Structure 1
Amino acid sequence: MRAGNRLLLFLDVDGPLIPIGGHHDAVDDRPGHRLTPALARALASNPLLYRLDPRRGRWLAALPCELVWATTWMADANEVIGPLLGLPELPIVQWPEDADDDQPGLVHWKTRGLVDWAAGRCSVWIDDEVTDADRGWVDAHHTAPALLHHVDPRRGLTRDDIDTINSWLIHFRPA
């Protein structure tokens, strides 16, 4: 958990940043980013990484908040995803051992951990698995405003998503 007043944005990878399903052109435009041998191996071993769109990294970096990885990619988010998107190293939510207790129709297994991590701070959660059950639980258990933003996993994070999130962040930005 972190202290401070800066708004938080919890970021999932699969679905929001790596679209799943449907047809996607390979995104190979990574100007200014050095493709290290480790990144080249990652791209070769996981063809879905070619769906990462560097524009999403620029969009996210421009938001008035602290970005935090909220993904099962864990350290690989900083080692693989971040560099391909042009993002700096970000904090990573550490999931408890029993975090995979997801049950259909109930609160997502990430929800409680993100509320704990936010520790009463305003926050946004970008995920393709957010539901009304999660929104209700956060409303009942989180003391600060929170936006749980669902992203269509077939398209991934869009400019419209970013505009919606940015408007929310600006409204709740600390004075």
Structure 2
Amino acid sequence: MLLFLDVDGPLIPFGAADRAYPVYDRGLAGPPDAGGHPLLNRVDPALGARLGGLGCELVWATTWMDDANACLAPWLGLPELPVVRWPDEDEPPGLLHWKTRSLVAWAAGRPFVWIDDELTEADRAWAAVHHPAPALLHRVDHRYGLTGADFTAVAEWLRLSVQPLSRPPRR
């Protein structure tokens, strides 16, 4: 099972006017390639273990591209992850998110979870029609990032989607 992971919003919360964001300190100046990213310490390092605990093949699905491996993977205690390479093309017409077609193509018929803060019903509907395997397109509130409720929802979907289909009763 693939898990496509966006960074800005799910891992780095932003835009909440009603609270200050926690600051996490790993006792390090940060990974050598962090380039002084000003929001890296907003990422809870414990998210790495929680994401790894879902039992999915994690894949960066972010405009951070290789910087996600250079900056975030070490901060989260994750190994280097595959990175989706985005095509250089115009945004799709209508309400479809510009990542949707690429992620469905990258999945190549395999079941997947996509965690992002910009998903809409248009993306879910398009994936349902164009992707033959189970897919969960899970929207995270960018103001708070991944929460316990998000992990519960994804874990429950994973539990239900990987169960073998029950057989009809014999007559």
Q: Same fold (TM over 0.5)?
A: yes
Unaligned residue ranges in structure 1 (runs of 5+): 1-6
Unaligned residue ranges in structure 2 (runs of 5+): 165-171
Residue in structure 2 matched with residue 38 of structure 1 by the alignment: 33
1:85 aligns with 2:76: yes
Once the two structures are superposed, residues 36-65 of structure 1 have per-residue CA deviations (whole angstroms, 9 ceiling, x without a partner) of: 4333xx2x3x21111110111111011121
1:9 aligns with 2:6: no
Highest RCO, 1 vs 2 (Cα 8 Å, sep ≥ 6):
1
Structure 1 residues 36 and 141, CA gap change in structure 2 (3 angstroms): closer
CA RMSD of aligned residues (A): 1.8
Q: Which residue, 7, 14, 24 being the options, matches 1:27?
A: 24
Given residue 133 of structure 1, which amino acid in structure 2 is its aligned partner?
A
Count of aligned positions: 161
Bigger shift: 9-18 or 156-165?
156-165
Q: Which residue, 63, 67, 84 being the options, matches 1:72?
A: 63
Name the CA distance, whole Å, in 2 between partners of 1:58 and 1:119: 27
Residue in structure 2 matched with residue 101 of structure 1 by the alignment: 91
8 Å contact from structure 2 (residues 4, 58) kept in 1: yes
Name the CA distance, whole Å, in 2 between partners of 1:66 and 1:60: 10
Name the CA distance, whole Å, in 2 between partners of 1:36 and 1:76: 11
8 Å contact from structure 2 (residues 15, 142) kept in 1: yes
8 Å contact from structure 1 (residues 27, 53) kept in 2: yes
1:102 Cα deviation from its structure 2 partner:
5.1
1:136 aligns with 2:125: yes
Structure 1 residues 34 and 61, CA gap change in structure 2 (3 angstroms): farther
Name the CA distance, whole Å, in 2 between partners of 1:93 and 1:172: 24
Given residue 91 of structure 2, which amino acid in structure 1 is its aligned partner?
D
> Counting helix residues as a fraction of each chain, which structure ranks higher?
1
Name the CA distance, whole Å, in 1 between partners of 2:53 and 2:147: 14
Once the two structures are superposed, residues 122-160 of structure 1 have per-residue CA deviations (whole angstroms, 9 ceiling, x without a partner) of: 100000000001001001111011000000000000111
